[in-house]
């Protein structure tokens, strides 16, 4: 069975003014997401700034998420590392907290060969019993999961899905063909939800869902119900705002957008080296939010 179908929010990690984690706001955001149709909470991924969280902070975020979600929707938790042994240790600790799946990004910076990639994911998968979602985002890591490597990994029982953020439709088609239904497919790009659904995808792990949870859920729900026109209309309606949310490095713009929605949603700014938005980009974001029909402060 799939971990989820629909929209999984790649939820931000809210910070206080001193850049400590605002756990009260994290709880509020989780409730906002679930109450507005989000089908899965994805915690401590790229959007959640896992790269600047200590292991202790990351595990506490996951613990709070498990507690607050209280089994209302599944939880997928980031546990990736470019050090296989660290990835194994973090995966074991994360799995023990009661999550429904682990998100594992390809090793970054030191990268590796496709052989090393297979060995890395195989070792991690064999260390835990929970389902694993591979995360292919070469723009971040400099490393692409080849369709051949994905097919090999798809034979491992608890490697169950791939979050595809390569943006390369031809590559994704080849992966889907080679895996022969053994890996569930989720879009990792908000501007490609509908295209990946057409390739058999089950949904999206989404950034824009932080501010438009119901609408992101609806793109998938409409498609699954056979309303392709309605799904397309929603995807296209969000296009300008999606572009604005990626005019600077994620999650800089999505945190700015949450702040513009008011104190109920404000999650602070990112930890360095992330910073606040350039004024021109912030004005673009404001314009696209207003064009979409959102109220901002």
Question: Residues 235, 195: contact at Cβ < 8 Å?
Answer: no
How many other CB atoms sit within 10 Å of the CB of residue 121? 24
Per-residue pLDDT of the chain (297 residues; tens, 9 = 90+): 799 999 999 999 999 999 999 999 999 999 999 999 999 999 999 999 999 999 999 999 999 999 999 999 999 999 999 999 999 999 999 999 999 999 999 999 999 999 999 999 999 999 999 999 999 999 999 999 999 999 999 999 999 999 999 999 999 999 999 999 999 999 999 999 999 999 999 999 999 999 999 999 999 999 999 999 999 999 999 999 999 999 999 999 999 999 999 999 999 999 999 999 999 999 999 999 999 999 999
Tokens, residue 139: 């723009």
What is the C-alpha separation between 35 and 268, in angstroms, rounded?
A: 22
Residue 292 is a catalytic residue: no
Amino acid 13: pLDDT = 99
Residue 163 is a catalytic residue: yes
- Multiple choice CATH, 6-227, 3.90.226.10, 3.20.20.70, 3.90.1150.10, 3.20.20.100: 3.20.20.70
Q: Which helix (H) or strand (E) holds 287?
A: helix 279-292
What is the C-alpha separation between 49 and 114, in angstroms, rounded?
A: 26
At residue 130, the 3 state secondary structure works out as coil
Q: CA-based angle 61:64:67, to the nearest 5?
A: 150
Q: Which residues contact 177 (CB under 8 A, 6 or more apart)?
A: 147
The pTM score is 0.98
What is the C-alpha separation between 32 and 38, in angstroms, rounded?
A: 9
Choosing from 109, 163, 286, 290, which is the catalytic residue?
163
The per-type count for the chain, helices as H runs and strands as E runs, is: 13, 8
What is the C-alpha separation between 115 and 123, in angstroms, rounded?
A: 12
Choosing from 17, 115, 135, 229, which is the catalytic residue?
135
How many other CB atoms sit within 10 Å of the CB of residue 142? 13
Q: Which helix (H) or strand (E) holds 163?
A: strand 159-164
Expressed in angstroms, the distance from the first to the final Cα of the chain is 42
């Amino acid at each position: 069975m799939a971990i989820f179908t629909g929209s999984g929010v790649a939820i931000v990690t809210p910070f206080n003014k001193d850049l400590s984690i605002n756990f009260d706001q994290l709880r509020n955001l989780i409730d906002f997401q679930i109450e507005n149709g989000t089908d899965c909470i994805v915690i401590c991924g790229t959007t959640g700034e896992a790269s600047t969280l200590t292991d202790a902070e990351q595990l506490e975020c996951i613990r709070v998420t498990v507690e607050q979600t209280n089994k209302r929707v599944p939880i997928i938790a980031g546990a990736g590392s470019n050090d296989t042994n660290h990835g194994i240790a973090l995966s074991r600790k994360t799995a023990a907290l009661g999550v429904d799946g682990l998100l594992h990004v390809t090793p970054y910076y030191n990268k590796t060969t496709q052989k090393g990639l297979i060995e890395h994911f195989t070792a991690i998968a064999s260390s835990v019993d929970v389902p694993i979602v591979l995360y292919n985002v070469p723009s971040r890591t400099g490393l692409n999961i080849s369709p051949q490597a994905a097919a090999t990994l798809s034979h491992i029982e608890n490697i169950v899905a791939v979050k595809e953020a390569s943006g390369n439709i031809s590559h994704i088609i080849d992966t889907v063909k080679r895996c022969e239904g053994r890996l569930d497919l989720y879009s990792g790009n908000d501007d490609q939800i509908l295209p990946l659904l057409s390739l058999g995808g089950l949904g999206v792990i989404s950034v824009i869902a932080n501010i438009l949870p119901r609408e992101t859920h609806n793109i998938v729900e409409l498609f699954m119900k056979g309303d392709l026109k309605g799904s397309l209309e929603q995807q296209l309606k969000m296009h300008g705002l999606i572009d604005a949310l990626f005019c600077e490095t994620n999650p800089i713009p999505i945190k700015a957008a949450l702040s513009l929605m008011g104190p109920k949603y404000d999650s602070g700014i990112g930890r360095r080296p992330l910073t606040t938005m350039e004024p021109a980009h912030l004005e673009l974001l404001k314009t696209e939010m207003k064009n979409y029909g959102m109220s901002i402060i």
